[in-house]
Amino acid sequence: KRMFSMFHESSIFIASCQHWFVLLTCNMVKSGELAKYPLAIISKLLAIYSKNGGCAYDIGCAFGTTLRNSSLGPQSEELKLCMMVGAFHGHAHNHMCQLDWHPQYIQGTGHTEGEGCEHIFTASNELARSTRHATSFHCHQAIEQHFMFWDANKYAALSTFFLSHAFCQP
């Protein structure tokens, strides 16, 4: 039991789209939020999506350097992946950092705030109570069920939004 305690899952790292759908999840093992988790997520996103993508991350400015120096650097540059800092976290940075990394100043980001994961985690806080003492299997099951329900709700809301706005043309 002690041998495997170093692999204790402590949290998850996720990627979401601008509509707050959960795209990917990654188990974080006791080590805390290290660069390996966002690098794993970025690796998968680069394999799936095409050019000119964007990714907002709390520490997107610092992580951009980590990404460029990693083995994913050439691929991320070739696909023109744009790193950003979420709008909320961006205001904690200095003015020059905001001009380079804040979504408001990056062309093509639309009206995104880059804080989708924060909204998702706020809604998933209640999971902690039911998964705290659960087995790894039951914990994964509860998290997967929660996010499947979350995505289904978001999909239904998106469909309603499109329906109500598509037929409002004069």
Rounded Cα gap, residues 65 and 8, in angstroms: 29
Average pLDDT over residues 97-123: 85
**pLDDT score recorded for residue 6:** 46
pTM of the model: 0.79
pLDDT, tens only, 34-75? 899 999 999 999 999 989 999 999 888 899 999 999 999 999
Q: Which residues pair with 9 in a beta bridge?
A: 29
Q: Which residues pair with 97 in a beta bridge?
A: none
Summary count for the chain: helices (H), strands (E): 8, 4
Rounded Cα gap, residues 107 and 34, in angstroms: 29
Average pLDDT over residues 139-150: 92
Q: So where are the chain's domains?
A: 3-166
